[in-house]
Structure 1
Amino acid sequence: MRQLVAACLLAFSPMAGFAATTSVSRLVERAVADPSRPGDQRAADAFRKPAETIAFAGVRPGMVVGEFYPGGGYFTRMLSDVVGPNGHVYGIENDRWKSAVKANAALLADGRLNNVSIEAAPFGTARFPRPLDLAWVTQNYHDLKIPEYGIVDTAAFNRAVFQALKPGGTYFVLDHEAPAGTSDAAIAKLHRIEKARVIREVTAAGFKLAAEGNFLRNPADDRSLPIFDKKVQGRTDQYALKFVKPR
């Protein structure tokens, strides 16, 4: 009985929590350092900061993750490594983005990522085979406002994400900051969206804002320029938002 009590105390002790956090940090480090990642994706790490991004989002072993718009798998590979064999990453790609659909097929072709499934579907689709621990969209929330990619009711999309998550689950959004008052037409030109607007829209679906990450903020960014302009490309001012579905 004493041994059982001691084990329980250890499991809930600060040292146990520290050990668990350290273990996950090492998993993230190994995922980022994975030599099988393509060279062009590894080269992007300096400005995309994947370790900080994955840690902030709270990815853990065993999680069920819904990744919107993998785009060839920059984050998919790392998410797969971190959630491990007891977790799964379900990707949904915009079926209009043919190059991304092709890149995703190539990503899965060798069968190494056997805890990853990717479906091509109409833009704004938010359906998954299992309840999610984490819904993930990085640098693509603004695209939901661009009719060229597909007409999306963003409010309905956010409600569908809410339904797809388990109680207590996380909705993670990372995007490029836009000037105040940026219209949908301007979003299509700049590929940026205001943080304040994302917060308004996501919380309107029932989510609570849990945390903001500043690890990709850049006050020197000229937000009046499209993100693909060489003057700012790779150095845009980006925000990370972690929303939680109430229990």
Structure 2
Amino acid sequence: MRSALIVLPALALAASPVLAAKAPVRHAAPKAAVQHVTVDPDIARAVADTGRKAENRARDKYRHPAQTLSFFGLKPDMTVVEMLPGGGWYSEILAPYLAADGHFVAAVPPGKSTDKYQELLASDAVRYGKAQVTPFIDGQPNQLVPDGTADMVVTFRNIHNLLGSPEQAGDGNAPQAFADWFRVLKPGGVLGIEEHRLPETMDSAREKTTGYVKRSTVIRLAMAAGFQFAGASDINANPRDDHDHPKGVWTLPPTYELGDQDKAKYAAIGESDRMTLKFVKPDPNAPAPAAPAPEAH
């Protein structure tokens, strides 16, 4: 089942602790060396599965799932919790990949969201037969899986939802969610986050209105919960996105919140510019990763 590794480039935004200490957040980060993301062949096969919906596969060019999951370090024997999976775009890859030797858990809000997700699971018993659904209620402690049993928690474009609306003070319900994720992970477990990226020079108030979030905000929330920063990649970066649209990220595909208005323009931009960040729960038997450098402006 093994095949030759596929090697794809990605920018690493992490720098050494010494460099980070010399560069306050208001300054540009030292130039990072180019690293590579080695795509696991089993993950590549899961992504290439023709059993996936055609409309989902068509978005791989924007979402780069094989590279993203390989960057996070996904393995087939892991217990993985996917937070707020929405329509199940990533679940369609994760559930069958983990079916034989791992454990896939989707954390879904109760009510209509759970009902809709359960319909997805029922639609393909072969693909989703072993998947488990657990409730996630925003703003309160959640027991997603037993404490210290998850190998990985992943969430894709959901941090802005947890930060809440402009009417919610501070970081909204995000701190509680990060605390839940920290608690359920094993020592050495991974938190993988992909999120729409707001440039550091833009007003932070836009985080609660546009869907874009600053890299520094995500890192701050994760580290406040106890996580260590383990790396960043530009796998999902989109330099065509200027982050300034009438309806935020929802102006762009696939949502097209403005309908046909300037649709060709937004289609040419593609899906949003996104950051891809990896954190670990400290393991007393492992060396500490480097501290994050501030993002270049």
Compute the displacement of 1:174 (Å).
Answer: 0.7
Could you say which residue in structure 2 is the equivalent of 1:140?
A: 158
Q: Match for 1:129: what amino acid?
A: V
Could you say which residue in structure 2 is the equivalent of 1:240?
A: 276
Compute the displacement of 1:37 (Å).
Answer: 1.1
Aligned-pair identity (%): 30
Structure with bigger RCO (C-alpha 8 Å, 6+ apart): 2
User: What is the TM-score with the length of structure 2 in the denominator?
Assistant: 0.68
Measured in 1, the distance between the counterparts of 2:101 and 2:271 equals: 36
- Specify the SS of the correspondent of 1:246: coil
Q: Choose which of 111, 116, 126 in structure 1 pairs with 2:125.
A: 111
Measured in 2, the distance between the counterparts of 1:120 and 1:242 equals: 24
Query: Alpha carbon RMSD of aligned pairs, Å?
Result: 2.7
Could you say which residue in structure 2 is the equivalent of 1:128?
A: 144
In structure 2, relative to structure 1, the CA distance for the partners of 1:114 and 1:238 (3 Å cut) is same
Measured in 2, the distance between the counterparts of 1:122 and 1:79 equals: 22
Q: Verify the 8 A CA contact 1:126 1:164 in the aligned structure 2.
A: no
Could you say which residue in structure 1 is the equivalent of 2:99?
A: 84
In the alignment, is residue 54 of structure 1 matched against residue 90 of structure 2?
Answer: no
Measured in 2, the distance between the counterparts of 1:223 and 1:176 equals: 9
Measured in 2, the distance between the counterparts of 1:91 and 1:158 equals: 16
Could you say which residue in structure 2 is the equivalent of 1:15?
A: none
Q: Verify the 8 A CA contact 1:31 1:82 in the aligned structure 2.
A: yes
Residue by residue over 1:62-89, the C-alpha shift from the partner in whole angstroms, topping out at 9 and shown as x without a partner, is 1000110111211112112322322111
Compute the displacement of 1:145 (Å).
Answer: 1.2
Measured in 1, the distance between the counterparts of 2:46 and 2:64 equals: 13
Residue by residue over 1:86-116, the C-alpha shift from the partner in whole angstroms, topping out at 9 and shown as x without a partner, is 21111111336x3x43441122114222221
Measured in 1, the distance between the counterparts of 2:144 and 2:42 equals: 25
Q: Match for 1:106: what amino acid?
A: E
User: What is the TM-score with the length of structure 1 in the denominator?
Assistant: 0.81
Could you say which residue in structure 2 is the equivalent of 1:5?
A: none
Q: Choose which of 213, 232, 243 in structure 2 pairs with 1:193.
A: 213
Compute the displacement of 1:219 (Å).
Answer: 2.6
Compute the displacement of 1:213 (Å).
Answer: 1.2
Count of residues paired in the alignment = 226
- Structure 1 runs of 4+ aligned residues shifted over 4 Å read 18-22
Q: Choose which of 54, 60, 71 in structure 2 pairs with 1:45.
A: 60
Compute the displacement of 1:43 (Å).
Answer: 1.2
Measured in 2, the distance between the counterparts of 1:44 and 1:177 equals: 18
Q: Verify the 8 A CA contact 2:136 2:142 in the aligned structure 1.
A: no
Give unpaired runs (5+ residues) of structure 2.
7-38, 253-265, 284-297
Could you say which residue in structure 2 is the equivalent of 1:217?
A: 237
Matching of residues 15-26 of structure 1 within 5 Å: 25-26=40-41
Compute the displacement of 1:218 (Å).
Answer: 2.0
Give unpaired runs (5+ residues) of structure 1.
1-17
Q: Verify the 8 A CA contact 1:59 1:82 in the aligned structure 2.
A: no
Q: Verify the 8 A CA contact 1:145 1:154 in the aligned structure 2.
A: yes
